[in-house]
Amino acid sequence: MQKPTTKRLWRCIRYYLTLCLVRGQANDTIRAKRYSLKKFCVWCFAQDVFTIDEVDIELMDDYMEHLNTYRKPKDNLPICKANKYALLLNVKTFMGKMYNRGLLEKNTIDHIELPTVGRPLPKAIFTAEEVEKILEQPLFFGEKGMVDKVILETFFATGIRRVELRNLDVEDIDLKQQLVRIRKGKGDREYILPISERACEWIIFYLTKLRPQLATITSGSALFLNDKGSRFRVNALSDMASRYVRLAGFKRAGACHLFRHSTATIMLDNGADLRHVQEMLGHVNITSTQVYTFVSRSKLTEVYNKTHPSALSKGGFL
C-alpha cells in the first residue's frame, strides 16, 4: 500500500479507509467512517481548507458549531448527539492515524473535547406476547412466508445481529446439541450460543423442504437464501422484519434488532444473570448489556411493589 505523497485531505482519507479495510474492519464500520469523513471533507472545502495540516482545534470548533446548527434536509430536525459524537470521533481517529503514519508532524486535534453522549434506551421494546404475534404473520404468505418465519424464529431464539444471521452457514447450526456458532460477530469475534428446540425444528423444516428449492450452484454453504439463491442483504432482512411488525398491527418502529432487544429484556425479566445475557448478545463490555436492566420491567415492578411505602400502603384515594 502506497503512502500518500501529498497532504491533500481527500487523498489522505482514501488512504486511511484502505488501512481500515486492510485491518479487517467490518464493511458497515468503513461505510460509516467514509460517510463521516466525506461530510467533513465537503465542509472543509467550503472553508477553503484542503490539506490535513490545516485542520486544528479552531477549525474543529467551527465544525462543531456547524453540526449544532445543521438541520437534516428531509425533516429539518437537528442531528442527534450520538450522530454528532460519531462524526467528530471519526475525524479525530483519522487525524490520529495520519500522525502515527508520519503524514503530520503534530496531532493538532488530539485534545479535542468530544460532546458527551448518554447511552440511549432501545426505542421499542416488545413483550413476549407481542413478539409471538409478529412471528405468526409470515404464516399467511405461503412458502416465501415460511422462509421468513424461520429467519424470524432464529432471530428471536438467539438474539443475534442481522449481519451475523446473514453470515451463517449450514454447518454453523448444531441441531443435535442445539447450538449455533457465530463466526463473524462484531469485531470478528467468534462465539457459540444456545438455540431453542422450537427454532431448531423450524430450521430442520427449512433445510429439508425449503432450502433445496432455493439453492443454486452458487449458493455454497449459506444457511439462509433469498429467492435468487444468495445470502440476504442486511437491509432486505430489516425490510422483511419491519413489514411483519406493521402487519401485526404495531405502529412502533421495529426490525431485526427488536428481537435482540426482546431476547435481552425477557431473559432479564425471567431472572437471567446479567453476565449470561452479555454472553448471549456477544457483548465485549458488560456496560453494553446493562442498558437492558433499565427496560427490564417485571423485576423492577416486583421489587417496587414489595418495598416502596406507597405501593405497600393499603389506603386508596379518599
* CATH number, position 273: 1.10.443.10
Is residue 283 among the annotated active site residues? yes
Instruction: Tell me if the pTM is above 0.75.
Output: no
Residue 38 has pLDDT above 90, yes or no: yes
Which of 15, 16, 244, 292 does the annotation list as catalytic?
A: 292
Residue 121 lies in a domain: no
Q: Which residue has the higher pLDDT, 281 or 126?
A: 126
Number of domains in the chain: 2
Is residue 209 among the annotated active site residues? no
**Do 92 and 42 share a structural domain?**
yes
Residue 170 lies in a domain: yes
**Do 86 and 38 share a structural domain?**
yes
Q: Is residue 265 within 8 Å of residue 292, measured between CB atoms?
A: yes
Determine how many CB atoms are found less than 10 A away from the CB of residue 318.
3
Q: Is residue 119 within 8 Å of residue 62, measured between CB atoms?
A: no
Q: Which long-range contacts (CB under 8 A, 24 or more apart) does 219-223 make?
A: 220/169, 221/169, 221/170, 221/171, 222/168, 222/169, 222/170, 223/168, 223/169, 223/170, 223/172, 223/173
Which of 161, 162, 166, 211 does the annotation list as catalytic?
A: 161
Q: Is residue 229 within 8 Å of residue 212, measured between CB atoms?
A: no
Q: CA 101, 103, 105: angle at the middle one, nearest 5? A: 105
Which of 11, 39, 186, 243 does the annotation list as catalytic?
A: 186
Rounded to whole angstroms, the Cα distance separating 145 from 265 reads 27
Q: Which residue has the higher pLDDT, 11 or 116?
A: 11
3-class SS at 161?
coil
Which of 84, 231, 257, 261 does the annotation list as catalytic?
A: 257
**Do 269 and 136 share a structural domain?**
yes
Residue 309 lies in a domain: no
**Do 276 and 162 share a structural domain?**
yes
**Do 177 and 291 share a structural domain?**
yes
**Do 164 and 87 share a structural domain?**
no
**Do 144 and 242 share a structural domain?**
yes
Confidence category of residue 298, pLDDT binned at 50, 70, 90: low
Is residue 84 among the annotated active site residues? no
Is residue 308 among the annotated active site residues? no
Is residue 231 among the annotated active site residues? no
Q: Tell me, what's the pLDDT at 52?
A: 92
Residue 110 lies in a domain: no
46: containing domain: 9-100
**Do 199 and 93 share a structural domain?**
no
**Do 241 and 160 share a structural domain?**
yes
Residue 107 lies in a domain: no
pLDDT digits (tens, 9 = 90+) for 52-64: 999 999 999 999 9
Question: End of a domain among 100, 116, 150?
Answer: 100
**Do 176 and 232 share a structural domain?**
yes
**Do 27 and 152 share a structural domain?**
no
The listed range with the strongest mean pLDDT (125-129, 148-152, 252-256) is 148-152
* CATH number, position 52: 1.10.150
Residue 24 lies in a domain: yes
Residue 312 lies in a domain: no
Residue 37 lies in a domain: yes
Which of 34, 92, 181, 283 does the annotation list as catalytic?
A: 283
Confidence category of residue 212, pLDDT binned at 50, 70, 90: very high
Is residue 260 among the annotated active site residues? yes
**Do 187 and 90 share a structural domain?**
no
